[in-house]
């Protein structure tokens, strides 16, 4: 079975991505892809890979935090301390997402008849809340330091620590976003965006330290305020993505692909209705087919062929209920 990758962001036919500098920023913090070549064939494999990403990224971020904490101890930098705490909180966001991936492996029950895939979306909401809270805390600390400046020592080491924070977070961001897009996990992509934002927060520490070196002590808190504002603006794209998932929103191009796959099946005359939704990082859907069949057995054969064709086009499709009308008499298969 051939699988295809699909991003979690909408790609409406009349949608245009920003260009220029705004487009570069949009691409960094609202990641998307038009590439449908990568594949993941099985929900369990996707969950296992998701957990692997979280384990590795957790270790990388904890190591980054430890290195920064050592430099905080002998530099006395309040800005670096804030960045270190922020990176530590980012590492901890991997825990609820890890739990969500593990829960997603559990079989459906009488109470949770669709399984536990929605736990990923709840984890995504938690991640959004943590990012928003960190933006508020960073803004508060930066504004406080505007009115109550703190002298910085060992500025060279502060710069090194900021670069370490950026490198660690960017490595984790690239890894999380790439795998999140491949397995269709909006929550994992959101966590990757969170790590990327934290990386640029670490760069702000570097800029602030350089400003102090050049004789402008207020550079550090001013950059902190600007970064806090940028976090709130850039977080909006992730909030919309998670919100769509919770409201059963789906990318229109996925609906188009499903309609095309069903309509292209021999024996299918028309596809009046198609529904799709994400449950975790897997797709579930239903469709109504008008088929060229004179018997119920022929209708079922065409429906099974249509279902197989749909799974060839949508690799993340787990379940597809089809309603058919053989010879004008409604039936379900």
The stretch 204-224 carries a mean pLDDT of 79
Q: What is the pLDDT of residue 1?
A: 39
Q: What is the pLDDT of residue 46?
A: 62
Q: How many residues does the chain have?
A: 333
154, pLDDT greater than 50 = yes
Per the model's pLDDT, the better-predicted residue between 153 and 202 turns out to be 202
Write the pLDDT tens digit of every residue in 294-332.
778 888 888 889 998 888 888 778 888 888 876 444 444
User: 273: which strand partners?
Assistant: 288
In the predicted model, what is the mean pLDDT of the chain? 75
Q: What is the pLDDT of residue 230?
A: 72
Q: What is the pLDDT of residue 45?
A: 54
Give the CA distances from residue 311 to residues 110, 183, 186, 282, in Å, rounded to whole numbers and listed in that order. Answer: 26, 15, 21, 12
Taking the C-alpha atoms of residue 210 and residue 205, their distance in angstroms, rounded to an integer, is 9
Which pLDDT band, with edges at 50, 70 and 90, does 89 fall under? confident
DSSP, res 326: E
Q: What is the pLDDT of residue 76?
A: 67
Per the model's pLDDT, the better-predicted residue between 190 and 33 turns out to be 190
Taking the C-alpha atoms of residue 12 and residue 121, their distance in angstroms, rounded to an integer, is 22
206, pLDDT greater than 60 = yes
Q: Which of 283, 280, 278, 270 is nearest to 323 (CA)?
A: 270
Give the CA distances from residue 31 to residues 10, 15, 61, 227, 238, in Å, rounded to whole numbers and listed in that order. Answer: 11, 15, 21, 19, 9
Comma-separated ranges of CATH 3.30.70.1350 domains in the chain: 252-332
Q: What is the pLDDT of residue 9?
A: 37
The stretch 13-40 carries a mean pLDDT of 41
Note the CATH number of domain 252-332: 3.30.70.1350
DSSP, res 108: P
74, pLDDT greater than 50 = yes
84, pLDDT greater than 70 = yes
Q: What is the dihedral of CA 71, 74, 78, 79, to 10 degrees?
A: -30
CA 171 vs. chain centroid, Å, equals 15
Question: What are the tokens at 222?
Answer: 């001013």
Q: What is the pLDDT of residue 158?
A: 84
| Total-model pTM | 0.61
Q: What is the pLDDT of residue 234?
A: 67
10 Å CB burial of residue 22 (0-12, 13-18, 19+) is exposed
Contacts of 272 (CB under 8 A, 6+ apart): 288, 290
User: 247: which strand partners?
Assistant: none
At the topology level, CATH places domain 20-246 in Alpha-lytic protease prodomain-like (1.20.1510)
6, pLDDT greater than 70 = no
The answer to whether the CB of 204 falls within 8 A of the CB of 170 is: no
Lowest mean pLDDT among 77-81, 181-185, 261-265: 77-81
Comma-separated ranges of CATH 1.20.1510 domains in the chain: 20-246
pLDDT exceeding 90 applies to what percent of the chain? 2
- Cβ-based neighbour number of residue 89 at 10 Å: 18
212, pLDDT greater than 60 = yes
The position carrying tokens 């969170």 is: 194
14, pLDDT greater than 50 = no
The answer to whether the CB of 302 falls within 8 A of the CB of 265 is: yes
Taking the C-alpha atoms of residue 99 and residue 154, their distance in angstroms, rounded to an integer, is 40
Taking the C-alpha atoms of residue 255 and residue 248, their distance in angstroms, rounded to an integer, is 13
Which pLDDT band, with edges at 50, 70 and 90, does 16 fall under? very low
Q: What is the pLDDT of residue 33?
A: 36
Write the pLDDT tens digit of every residue in 58-70.
888 889 888 888 8
Write the pLDDT tens digit of every residue in 94-134.
787 788 878 877 888 888 887 887 887 788 788 788 778 87
Question: What are the tokens at 135?
Answer: 């933006």
Question: What are the tokens at 209?
Answer: 């330290």
């Amino acid at each position: 079975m051939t699988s295809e990758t699909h991003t979690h962001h909408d790609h409406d036919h009349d949608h245009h991505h920003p260009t220029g500098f705004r487009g570069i920023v949009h691409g960094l913090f609202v990641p998307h892809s038009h590439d449908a070549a990568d594949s993941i064939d099985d929900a369990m494999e996707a969950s296992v890979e998701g957990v692997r990403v979280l384990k590795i990224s957790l270790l990388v971020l904890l190591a980054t935090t430890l290195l920064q904490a050592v430099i905080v101890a002998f530099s006395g930098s309040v800005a670096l301390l804030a960045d270190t705490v922020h990176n530590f909180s980012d590492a901890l966001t991997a825990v609820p997402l890890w739990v969500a991936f593990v829960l997603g492996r559990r079989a459906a029950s009488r109470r949770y008849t669709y399984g536990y895939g929605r736990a990923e979306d709840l984890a995504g909401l938690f991640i959004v809340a943590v990012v928003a809270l960190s933006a508020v805390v960073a803004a508060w600390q930066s504004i406080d330091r505007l009115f109550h400046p703190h002298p910085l020592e060992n500025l060279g080491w502060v710069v090194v620590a900021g670069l370490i924070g950026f490198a660690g977070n960017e490595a984790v961001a690239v890894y999380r976003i790439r795998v999140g897009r491949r397995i269709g996990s909006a929550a994992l992509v959101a966590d990757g965006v969170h790590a990327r934002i934290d990386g640029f927060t670490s760069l702000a520490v570097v800029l602030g330290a350089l400003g102090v070196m050049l004789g402008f002590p207020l550079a550090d808190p001013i950059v902190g305020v600007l970064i806090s504002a940028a976090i709130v603006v850039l977080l909006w794209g992730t909030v919309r993505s998670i919100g769509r998932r919770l409201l059963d929103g789906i990318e229109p191009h996925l609906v188009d692909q499903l309609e095309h796959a069903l309509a292209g099946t021999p024996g299918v005359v028309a596809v009046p209705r198609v529904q799709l939704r994400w449950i975790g990082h897997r797709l579930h859907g239903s469709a109504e087919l008008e088929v060229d069949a004179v018997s119920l057995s022929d209708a079922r054969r065409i429906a099974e062929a249509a279902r197989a064709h749909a799974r060839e086009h949508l690799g993340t499709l787990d379940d597809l209920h089809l309603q058919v009308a053989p010879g004008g008499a409604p039936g379900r298969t």
